Chain A
């Protein structure tokens, strides 16, 4: 099998030879242009906010432009606002600008005397048991003109005092350039982390994009049809993705090195690579056209990107641990952390590979992707053990979808009810789909409902324990009963059609969740 896979991989690499030298030159030139413009633009920063506010006077701040109906009207003795959100924001920015200008004026007129307070920040990692580590972070805080001279006035004896009181494990002695005036103190920008983390993943996206195009083309030109008659789908698909997996690993390892991270962190990126390859294989298999595939890929890629990066921004919260990027940024190589942040990528990759390999029958059908998924579920769930396993393995998908559902919670006043309902629908859909598949393959509906509920319950609790360690097993039977009752209701009403059965079981589930939340909040 391995030799066949390597042969397929060789064929895939040979297929890339249709990229002529001229194509390569174009790609290299565009890549150089992309890197150069990115570096240049990063040095300039985001500047589309220039002229976003208006004032009655011409100010030195490029954020402001003169207008007859200004957001802020500067008069002797104060600033007149319009009462709008924008006017308040404009005043906040104007105040910052005036402080900067005033500080410069003070410096020219009074020198050191006008700057009696200089601050140095030391960042301390909190809540660690193995001892306190101190990390100095002075680069985050920008400096303004006129400050250099103030820094020069740092007195030797003051540094001496600082060295006396500073603990031994502070990295390096305090430097003059670390001291800032109070208004120069800036809280850390959460978005910087996203930009930094993008470096790990962007190279992979490009490689996966080539893989996805190649897979779609093989399908469109019916090459898979021919290949699958001679070789097993596993050999063809694994062989095909092998060069892309190797290229992604190499590129992400280089990206890690450039961003100053050890190559060992590749262990966190590898499951993401596998998942993206599996996802693109699956979307290629179930899509009916390039358009459909592109739309599916764009939408899913954006969701995956959000799932990877947003938790990394809020790394100190419990949910931050769901993303492997959080672990890389935090330098966390503990086994449990690894399991918590990668299990969903490993298991989703396995499931998607399995479904792709078995998608031969639905690949060329003109049914929509959802109908194809239903058909694949029917092919997969043949008896009670496969039903149990399928439900158990559906948990990572449910978990990821529910993560996004929670984002709706602040959208409008009663969004929490919508979120409860959506979560119920997602859970009942996955359970219902698999029960429905088992029933269509001759399994008893009620037994299937109980098996699916146990499988779902165990999977759900395993995930919950990973993130929210629950002491005691007192309340465990309650959700199990709820899952079982909802599934039994689904089976009972299945004779009226899948959608109606799903509506009934979801409504029951939502009411149950609502009551539990209400009783907890009471």
Chain B
């Protein structure tokens, strides 16, 4: 009960300082900025984006010409001039050979956005060209047809990029932002009590465990609020969260792990400067490892939010256990710190 009182006191100060508004604005910004990136990706990789790429050909390639309809040049120099002046999107250099390997040099713009357009177009056309040459040589070609409700559907290349950006980048990043904010909250609120010596006043009324649990409870209430907020924002933004409960629990699991790291940093020494640095360094390792292992809470989050697998209970149990263990360790360490100070 005392823990809850301490948690509510911290949350009230957060509301009074109006800092919570800033974090909500940040999450709103991340969600809206993602719309911009998603729109950019969609435009960039959509077939209409690269359908009208203009290609120059230097060399003799009759079959290729029937597929790509290039502008034919006698020499490379004028073709490259047109490429650098923006009249062409790519220049293809080779002499067609139906019976052996065609080694093709393709000049594309160095600038990434222009290069994407040219490369996507040429990949599609060169695959078509390869299939024609394979058929001439009597080699079977691969044709993969997609059906939906009994009808053939065309799925453009690169369609998966938008989906992956949302569920493999954006949602994990929102969860990490939430976890970092709530962990920093634990470090600050514990360190402030120690550095202002208010912890001694608190300890006249409650136990140290109540103080620490209170701080962690406040942090978890904060992360819960932020998670619900960005989940609602994403839904309003047209991004479907397939399993909201599991998504929420997976995010909570990420937050619990990070809060454990924050508590460990604080219990090393309740001095903000040191705790923040140790936490930041530890968090780098934690984040990169989580992105690399599918079995991590971030992997579970990606799968839960995309509706592939909603089994997040093991992550929740593990993260809760780590927090309980850390609470136990931090109480020992912090009481030692107070003993030394007194």
Question: Which A residues have a C-beta under 8 Å from some C-beta of B?
Answer: 19, 23, 26-27, 30-31, 33-34, 37-38, 40-42, 44-54, 62, 65, 67, 77-83, 85-86, 88-95, 98-99, 102, 106, 110, 112-128, 132, 134-135, 137, 150, 153-155, 158-159, 161-162, 165-167, 174, 179, 181-183, 185-188, 190, 193, 206, 209-210, 213-214, 216-217, 220-221, 288-292, 294-296, 298-299, 302-303, 306, 310, 313-317, 368, 404, 407-412
Name which of B147-155, B206-214, B315-323, B327-335 contacts chain A: B147-155
* Complex interface: chain A residues within 8 A of B32 (CB): 407-408, 411
Q: What are 13 A-B interface contacts by the 8 Å CB criterion?
A: A30-B278, A37-B288, A47-B299, A79-B146, A92-B155, A117-B101, A127-B84, A158-B103, A161-B95, A294-B187, A298-B181, A310-B33, A317-B113
Chain A residue nearest to B297 (CB atoms) is A48
CB–CB A291/B102 < 8 A: no
* Complex interface: chain A residues within 8 A of B115 (CB): 123, 187-188
Extra pairs beyond A95-B144, A290-B192 (14, CB < 8 Å): A26-B278, A34-B281, A48-B168, A52-B164, A81-B147, A113-B137, A113-B139, A114-B137, A161-B95, A185-B126, A210-B277, A214-B273, A217-B195, A295-B181
* Complex interface: chain B residues within 8 A of A54 (CB): 308
The one of B18, B98, B105, B109 in contact with A174, judged by C-beta atoms closer than 8 angstroms, is B105
CB–CB B272/A216 < 8 A: yes
Question: B335 CB to closest chain A CB, in angstroms?
Answer: 20
* Complex interface: chain A residues within 8 A of B172 (CB): 48
Q: Does B289 contact A (CB under 8 A)?
A: yes
CB–CB A47/B293 < 8 A: yes
Q: Does B122 contact A (CB under 8 A)?
A: yes
Q: Which of A65, A114, A161, A410 has the most CB of B within 10 A?
A: A410
* Complex interface: chain A residues within 8 A of B23 (CB): 295, 298-299
Q: Does B142 contact A (CB under 8 A)?
A: yes
CB–CB A288/B17 < 8 A: yes
The one of B84, B164, B303 in contact with A89, judged by C-beta atoms closer than 8 angstroms, is B164
**Size range of the interface on B?**
35 or more
A40 to B288, CA, bound (A): 9
CB–CB A296/B120 < 8 A: no
Question: A285 CB to closest chain B CB, in angstroms?
Answer: 15
* Complex interface: chain B residues within 8 A of A174 (CB): 105
Q: Does B177 contact A (CB under 8 A)?
A: yes
Give a binary string over B25-61; 1 marks a CB under 8 Å from any A CB, 0 the rest. 1100110110110111000000000000000001100
Which B124-163 residues have C-beta < 8 A from chain A? 126-127, 129-130, 133-134, 137, 139, 142, 144-149, 153, 155-160, 162-163
CB–CB B111/A315 < 8 A: yes
Question: B61 CB to closest chain A CB, in angstroms?
Answer: 11
* Complex interface: chain A residues within 8 A of B25 (CB): 299
Known contacts A126-B109, A289-B192, A298-B180; decide if A50 and B144 are in contact (CB<8 Å).
no
* Complex interface: chain B residues within 8 A of A182 (CB): 122-123, 126-127, 129-130
CB–CB B308/A52 < 8 A: yes
CB–CB B164/A33 < 8 A: no
Question: B250 CB to closest chain A CB, in angstroms?
Answer: 11
CB–CB A117/B133 < 8 A: yes
* Complex interface: chain A residues within 8 A of B58 (CB): 165
Chain B residue nearest to A314 (CB atoms) is B113
Chain B residue nearest to A72 (CB atoms) is B146
A80 to B147, CA, bound (A): 5
* Complex interface: chain A residues within 8 A of B204 (CB): none
CB–CB A132/B303 < 8 A: no
Question: B214 CB to closest chain A CB, in angstroms?
Answer: 14
